[in-house]
Structure 1
Amino acid sequence: MKPNHKGRAQIFQNPVLERLTRTHIALPIIIFISIAGGLIYYGITYSFISVIEASALFMLGWLIFTLLEYLAHRFIFHMDTNTPLKKNIQYTFHGNHHEFPKDKERLAMPPIVSVFIASLLFFIFKLVFGPLVFGIVAGLLFGYALYLFVHYAVHAYAPPKNFLNILWLHHSIHHYKDPEAAFGVSSPLWDYILGTMPKRNK
């Protein structure tokens, strides 16, 4: 699919559903930073976790997010489109982004969808980790907010002259050179570990 630097895909004919597929990047970042902070505050205030536990669990949650980000990007967003249904699903969730990578209003999942998924993950993690969930999910949601920031920066701005340059190049290779490599956006960690680092020319 050849990238188009102008324009926007039309996903739904219904104007309300179509509008719900777009969001300003600041909205989900603010939502998930706020929820992450609220979870840490609640967990510590009501003695579910200590400050030290909160710090360690936060980092663990952040690490878990980087793995979930990688797995979702590689195996769901880039699923094998061998049937018309799979092709439509893939295009709706991710293919349109590869076709129109400069569409700034589709660089994040719509908040109504992402809040639902975050709530579902909270209850799943609560069943597994009990009261430790407050620190872990806080780190996971912070990781998602950081991912949104990095993803937006890569697509909306020229290559930065700071630490983000590595991430900018990594994700740009995924979009413009090799869509079957460089699946990590906020971190290339799992590309290193799982063997999907792009082959770069010297």
Structure 2
Amino acid sequence: MATTHSTPIRPKNKGQKVIFKNPILERLTRTHIAVPISIFSVFSAGLIYYAFTYAQLPAYLIGTLFLSGLLIFSFIEYLVHRYAFHMDTDTELKQKLQYNLHGVHHEYPKDKGRLAMPPVVSVLLAVGLLVAFNFVIGEYTYAFLPGFIMGYASYLFVHFIVHAYQPPKNLFKILWINHSIHHYKDNNKAFGVSSPLWDYVFRTLP
């Protein structure tokens, strides 16, 4: 896999970026972190309930599919962060796209309102994933997708705490340190937020 080369952005630890002049559109770009995490947690719990109650799946398979969803999400998280959020910015269009997708977060990393997608997008994403996975893997979706979604919820939680709080004295400390290196020292390292696994595999660990 090739190394990405997104344009470095000097972080500002105060303030926030106004993306839309229209206050309604601007408000729709922001959310409290608890909102999407709650949406995904409830959605995941509902799917698991359906898997146990209505889908013809044994318990061991539900557990295996759930853990597989968690693992696959961590891989997707790494790929999206590395190759979409930090795409080559060799054209003006790519520069604008990369900034709106992720660059604004690197410029204002302490802006808690933009550490997750807004609720409307979260709901649309959850429903879209349900339809897509159901088309591909059928009833296995009701056990796999909850793991995938909870992987995303875990990413949101970790991403929030590493930006909102000082480094903890527990297992989250290494995640806090890695993500701080990504923001303040080298944005071509430490693409994994919820886990350093794929940074270790692809040698992008700081």
TM over 0.5: yes
Q: How far apart are 1:117 and its partner, in Å? A: 2.4
Q: Tell me if 1:191 matches 2:199.
A: yes
**Contact 1:4–1:101 (Cα < 8 Å) also in 2:** yes
Q: Tell me if 1:22 matches 2:63.
A: no
Q: How far apart are 1:80 and its partner, in Å? A: 1.4
1:140-178 per-residue CA deviation (whole Å, 9 max, x = no partner) reads 110111111100000000000000001111111101111
When the two chains are superposed, the root-mean-square deviation of aligned CA atoms in Å is 1.1
Q: Secondary structure at the match of 1:68?
A: helix
List, as ranges, runs of 4+ consecutive aligned residues in structure 1 with deviation greater than 6 Å.
none
1:10-54 per-residue CA deviation (whole Å, 9 max, x = no partner) reads 111221111111000000111101101110001111033222211
Q: How far apart are 1:113 and its partner, in Å? A: 1.6
Match of 1:60 in 2: 68
List gaps (5 residues or longer) in structure 1: none
Amino acid at match of 1:125: F
User: Which residues in structure 2 correspond to 1:22-171 (within 5 Å)?
Assistant: 22-171=30-179
How many residues are matched? 198
Q: Secondary structure at the match of 1:49?
A: coil
Distance 1:39 1:108 in 2: 22
List gaps (5 residues or longer) in structure 2: 1-8
Distance 1:22 1:95 in 2: 15
Of 167-176 and 84-93, more deviation after overlay is shown by: 84-93
Q: How far apart are 1:125 and its partner, in Å? A: 1.6
Amino acid at match of 1:174: H
Distance 2:199 2:12 in 1: 26
Q: How far apart are 1:120 and its partner, in Å? A: 2.0
Of 27-36 and 82-91, more deviation after overlay is shown by: 82-91
State the TM-score, normalizing by the size of structure 1: 0.94
Distance 2:31 2:56 in 1: 34
Match of 1:176 in 2: 184
Q: Percent identity?
A: 57
Q: Secondary structure at the match of 2:152?
A: helix
Match of 2:5 in 1: none
Of 9-18 and 24-33, more deviation after overlay is shown by: 9-18
